[in-house]
Structure 1
């Protein structure tokens, strides 16, 4: 691979114009595909086969017009007083117009609904009065005993009706002070299948023609503002990355190249991803995830090659030869590092969860483009830039007295000394305790989907959520749809009579639950075997009590001999998705851990190194998860990022974090650990090799980590909490893994292990392929690196004449 990349780098440098033209053509082709084939992005997530999905499918089969998505429109008077009759008529007019929108099944007028409820109360009151009057007449006529059975049956029906009306009293469409009204929109398609065009058409009916003296807002079940791909915070992150590059490389041209190539890469990858939205159900967050990953790794991968090229130029290597060598050595490491991220992301498809696998696949496209650009476009641009990749001072020094082919400062490894055993124990203890403390909040992890309360405070979704909670109760933001199987009857008349009685029994069993605010029967199927109820929880859709209520309802069988209750609705659907993802996480984590052990075994040809490196990844993963829980679930420091209402952690974040953080952690382990291994196989004592390898790789790993933290950190300030939490998790995870695990814990543990760190059974050594990640064999095969010196992970280490021979075989 190293030799192939060497040739590719030299060819790209010789034909720089062609390479640049090819990448520009690819960008134009991706842009054309986007213009021709892009479709709508999805603002919701679904997993077929969940209990909620099964209930929805049954409702579609049993009830005409049922099983579709719902949306809520909130009207409020501007002065806080009761909505006037004129305003009510204006709202009713817009309800009628919205009902005519294609894709809308029905729109409920809140005021007409409340009038119907009042009529029901009057009818029940009249019925009670007539019953009392009839009973009195029967008693006066002396026939009370003869009609007692009929009277008892009638009284029982009245009591059931009165009880049902009382149970449903908490389900209202107009607030008690009549200043707020809820318009309910029923769509023909399921919640996740409602098109953005249909939603926009409904919103325009209410928003484009406002009711004088009233405000209108839309809940997140109908309105989902698509996030912009680029925001000010993300630009700031790129600027910070640029500053780091300038400090490290010392030249604006050197700093600009990684950013330029990364932007080209994410542009192509994002256009490709968006062009697939016409045939695939891609969530709004998916292209942003690809952009986030592509930008971060694109800058880092280009940096690795440019940094290697710069160092070789300062050592007097011919520019053309240096580009090839940089591509064959650092580029080889880039390809391997990219492959680990790629495999981990594609592994998300193993979870069997469609939208998560698609996220991984889109992220894999971004990684693939970043790697290809690093090993082709970067060498081409380096050839055009020439010596300007070095600063004036560096060029002057190279052509002056130190231009003998080796930079005077390059031999920074010679005076290194191993750390003490006590110091190593102290470092390892500090790192493990720190990681353990940070990971503690992960024990309290709750997952879910963001609701209106987590939206920006100036958004229509947040205003709608708040208005509903204040005027109707938190539970009104997440109503549940409950189904109950009924025994039916031998004929239609008895089935109808039984259904009325069974409806009451089911409603009563639900109403006495502590977390239920109200329950109301909606309807019964034609054959009288399935009843539907609307249930309003006491708390909001993302609360623990609502989650427990869903499980309680699904475990109930109010009518013995029938099936347990079924539950649907947005809150129920989100709970099902979260639980499905949580169930898939251990399996996926096991796959990634196994993959980590195999990859590291191949690279480091050691038993000890893969084990400690993988354990380090597990520690950094749970520490990152602990940070997310502390900020987004507990609300610690939430005000700094605009988090007003903490809640459950995004349900697919823990699984997504496994794949991405694993790949990035392997990158850092690669650039820290291979330097140690190269020093060791060239004859350096094991503990001294740890120091030399660490010193050789720490600068580039530090810069790479800061760049990734800056890019990911920019997304923390996104208005969408799901994007913000993903950005935070990745930024914090990189911070922990790079600086605590790779640069504090791993060197300490490697020192304590000594020679045992590189032990490998002979039988295993014989069957393992020799993967030369850093291209040491390539360096030895080219005259630009002379003996008896050999480059070790970025530092020059003196080795004896016989050491060069040992380098090719070395010690295990």
Structure 2
């Protein structure tokens, strides 16, 4: 095995020609007024445009081509008023029967039917002169009027998904049901209307908590008020600009309601991290005696290059969610990528501009003695950055992290085993993961959809909150054979396991379609309801239409969610494979080490499995869920694992690249693999620890959100970063790198020739005068 030529030869005496990044950093630092003004103008302009022309966010799980969508299209074609998307307006009066409010109910139904996009509104009251039909003996009451007449629901059908209509649409709905409320009837909105009525997420408290913790961590880690302030200011400006751009995109495309929160979480986390990496290097450059403009330029050309590579990696991972083939998920990735783009731009332009504005006053306002990249001793003859290596690379290090690295070096198998055991224990719950859709029953009781859910469950059973519409298209069946088909289908739909009741099939007005409704014994979010839906689609309906030209479908909101779940579960392995392959390829290209790249890919899988396990234990097993504001046990939202994998992969690459670039730099300079690990761990441990604490606090602060999906993502991402920065970076990576030794950097010559060359840290002028062993041409041995 042979080592590629060291970029630092014995004849090097100083920096080479300035690269584009260095020129950019110096220009921004020198012309800081122009850069800061441009950013402020962009900030104000995007906010103005977003408020004037920006769109709304809504959840649309439409899956073109799915069986539920095909069933909806068939029903819409043959019975328009029975098709579309349904929602419920739930009525309840504990004092007297609702039959006494006939005038108000009819008025509300008539007003609802006149609203835009409403196909029909069905009154729960029987026609005048008739009584409400009683359910067959032994079957539950499924409505729309309960047996005691105290609870009822109006079924409203829309031509579009109600959640896409915007919160302003509720004004008309409120006006329509006002007579009922004035009469003292409790009116709650269930299903998509209830989701539309949810209060808009207010994440300001979460953002303030994250910012507060970040300030404390930065002050403790770096001791300077200005050094702590710059990352926060740049991250905040970047996120606000990114959210403004996302709002404009929302005017043209449908983004999920969780999109701005997800974009804020990711934008704040990476924005602070990227600025932190740059400022750390800049401060060391200042301590080395360089002027502020040159120091900022060198920081951008070195750490800024790592930021650029890491940012591109995060963006590629997020946009890679399009591999799922589900636009809902792909757009979530795009939403998060928007703020990552603004964070990278802010780090490469706004950060050096602020550093140029601050000049040498970086540590004027400080709470303790400032330190930069390394806690290492400077060695004999070294003072304030002087000596063989300005960042202490050639000095004798006696810091805490160096001693820790030496312990790992002495017993790598023990540390490796310890890390693997911790990850394995945390990952145990993932083997029982249940993907699904979180229903309204898990929302806070302050939400109208939760109150509607409880009323429906109490009066009609939990399955009433997720009716399954059965559609049998018999348009291709001869008229003479249709009665036999109806009889055969009716028999197939009796005593279906998991169904509380299935209403008799009825023909549409044109006679071409048979429709009925199945109610599960469990709530929509329960795995039994998912099983019932799949049983109807895969077994019962095919049996019902066997031997004929008819086709059966299960449609409705719950059926569409099950189809969405099935597609996501089917494509999750593909996303994982793509992300893992991407991790392997990027590390291989950047560091030219086959085993290093394989190690990164494997550790990514281990760390994400551990974070999945924690999320399953908390939300699905209920270990601490109630303490987080979650009512009972809930399934893992179907797209959360996919989002977590893409995001965590991207974020972990920040630390991976930052640490490995130092290990690689030391290896190229000294050809001592074990010493390189110890050196890299020492000079990066403090920065990575601070960055991880900040990111964990930013993510964890969103656990207080009322949105359970946001809670899941917040906890999952916080745990992922915590595991990645502790177990992976402090136990597994040093142990594996020590065990691999020089072999870690081996790459077959044929592969090395075809791989593109990418540098993460660029050429560091401070170490340019440090000759490598054997006159700059180093060998690894073996």
Shared fold (TM-score, shorter chain, > 0.5): yes
Deviating more after overlay: 56-65 vs 606-615: 56-65
Q: 1:695 aligns with which of 682, 694, 702?
A: 682
* Deviation at residue 87 of structure 1 after TM alignment: 3.6
* Deviation at residue 199 of structure 1 after TM alignment: 4.5
Instruction: Kindly report which structure 2 residues correspond to 1:348-747, keeping only aligned pairs within 5 A, or say none.
Output: 348-391=321-364, 405=386, 410=392, 414-415=397-398, 416=402, 418-419=406-407, 423-486=411-474, 498-499=482-483, 502-503=485-486, 505-521=488-504, 523-526=506-509, 528-554=511-537, 555-556=539-540, 557-562=543-548, 563=550, 565-747=552-734
**Cα distance change of structure 1 residues 298 and 753 upon mapping to structure 2, 3 Å threshold:** same
The aligned residue for residue 304 of structure 2 is 331
User: For residues 18 and 71 of structure 2, what CA distance do their matches in structure 1 show?
Assistant: 56
User: For residues 642 and 216 of structure 1, what CA distance do their matches in structure 2 show?
Assistant: 24
* Deviation at residue 763 of structure 1 after TM alignment: 3.3
**Cα distance change of structure 1 residues 113 and 250 upon mapping to structure 2, 3 Å threshold:** farther
Work out whether residues 449 and 542 of structure 1, in 8 Å CA contact, stay in contact via their aligned partners in 2.
Answer: yes
2:151 is the alignment partner of 1:109: no
Structure 1 residue matching 2:181: 3-state secondary structure: coil
User: For residues 669 and 113 of structure 1, what CA distance do their matches in structure 2 show?
Assistant: 69
Structure 2 residue matching 1:513: 3-state secondary structure: coil
**Cα distance change of structure 1 residues 166 and 594 upon mapping to structure 2, 3 Å threshold:** same
User: For residues 703 and 172 of structure 1, what CA distance do their matches in structure 2 show?
Assistant: 57
2:93 is the alignment partner of 1:70: no
* Deviation at residue 552 of structure 1 after TM alignment: 1.4
User: For residues 104 and 593 of structure 1, what CA distance do their matches in structure 2 show?
Assistant: 46
Deviating more after overlay: 406-415 vs 736-745: 406-415
Deviations for 1:303-359, whole angstroms, at most 9, x for unmatched residues? Answer: 110111112222322222111111111111110110110111111122221121112
Work out whether residues 323 and 382 of structure 1, in 8 Å CA contact, stay in contact via their aligned partners in 2.
Answer: yes
Structure 2 residue matching 1:110: 3-state secondary structure: coil
* Deviation at residue 196 of structure 1 after TM alignment: 4.6
User: For residues 420 and 189 of structure 1, what CA distance do their matches in structure 2 show?
Assistant: 60
The aligned residue for residue 32 of structure 2 is 16
User: For residues 113 and 245 of structure 1, what CA distance do their matches in structure 2 show?
Assistant: 70
2:204 is the alignment partner of 1:231: yes
Work out whether residues 265 and 369 of structure 1, in 8 Å CA contact, stay in contact via their aligned partners in 2.
Answer: yes
Deviations for 1:44-96, whole angstroms, at most 9, x for unmatched residues? Answer: 3222111111111111122232321111112222xx33336544433332222
Structure 1 residue matching 2:667: 3-state secondary structure: helix
Q: With structure 1 as the length reference, what TM-score do the two structures score? A: 0.86
User: For residues 223 and 62 of structure 1, what CA distance do their matches in structure 2 show?
Assistant: 28
Q: CA RMSD in A?
A: 2.8
* Deviation at residue 408 of structure 1 after TM alignment: 10
Work out whether residues 621 and 733 of structure 1, in 8 Å CA contact, stay in contact via their aligned partners in 2.
Answer: yes
User: For residues 402 and 419 of structure 1, what CA distance do their matches in structure 2 show?
Assistant: 28
* Deviation at residue 2 of structure 1 after TM alignment: 7.8
2:189 is the alignment partner of 1:218: yes
2:45 is the alignment partner of 1:29: yes
* Deviation at residue 643 of structure 1 after TM alignment: 0.9
Q: With structure 2 as the length reference, what TM-score do the two structures score? A: 0.89
User: For residues 141 and 272 of structure 2, what CA distance do their matches in structure 1 show?
Assistant: 56
Q: Say which one has the larger Rg.
A: 1
Deviating more after overlay: 427-436 vs 101-110: 101-110
**Cα distance change of structure 1 residues 392 and 526 upon mapping to structure 2, 3 Å threshold:** closer
User: For residues 688 and 579 of structure 1, what CA distance do their matches in structure 2 show?
Assistant: 50
Q: 2:276 aligns with which of 303, 325, 338?
A: 303
Structure 2 residue matching 1:707: 3-state secondary structure: helix
* Deviation at residue 30 of structure 1 after TM alignment: 1.6
**Cα distance change of structure 1 residues 719 and 192 upon mapping to structure 2, 3 Å threshold:** closer
2:71 is the alignment partner of 1:55: yes
The aligned residue for residue 748 of structure 1 is 735
Work out whether residues 82 and 177 of structure 1, in 8 Å CA contact, stay in contact via their aligned partners in 2.
Answer: no
Gaps of 5+ in 2: 1-16, 372-381
User: For residues 535 and 370 of structure 2, what CA distance do their matches in structure 1 show?
Assistant: 76
Work out whether residues 12 and 19 of structure 1, in 8 Å CA contact, stay in contact via their aligned partners in 2.
Answer: yes
Deviations for 1:602-640, whole angstroms, at most 9, x for unmatched residues? Answer: 222111111111100000111111111111211111122
User: For residues 618 and 51 of structure 1, what CA distance do their matches in structure 2 show?
Assistant: 33
Work out whether residues 715 and 723 of structure 1, in 8 Å CA contact, stay in contact via their aligned partners in 2.
Answer: yes
Q: 1:787 aligns with which of 745, 769, 773?
A: 769
Structure 2 residue matching 1:551: 3-state secondary structure: helix
Deviating more after overlay: 374-383 vs 407-416: 407-416
**Cα distance change of structure 1 residues 635 and 246 upon mapping to structure 2, 3 Å threshold:** same
The aligned residue for residue 224 of structure 2 is 251
Structure 1 residue matching 2:411: 3-state secondary structure: helix
**Cα distance change of structure 1 residues 208 and 736 upon mapping to structure 2, 3 Å threshold:** farther
Deviating more after overlay: 49-58 vs 315-324: 315-324
Work out whether residues 607 and 759 of structure 1, in 8 Å CA contact, stay in contact via their aligned partners in 2.
Answer: yes
**Cα distance change of structure 1 residues 457 and 413 upon mapping to structure 2, 3 Å threshold:** farther
**Cα distance change of structure 1 residues 380 and 483 upon mapping to structure 2, 3 Å threshold:** same
**Cα distance change of structure 1 residues 452 and 413 upon mapping to structure 2, 3 Å threshold:** farther
**Cα distance change of structure 1 residues 674 and 511 upon mapping to structure 2, 3 Å threshold:** same
* Deviation at residue 421 of structure 1 after TM alignment: 6.0
Structure 1 residue matching 2:160: 3-state secondary structure: coil
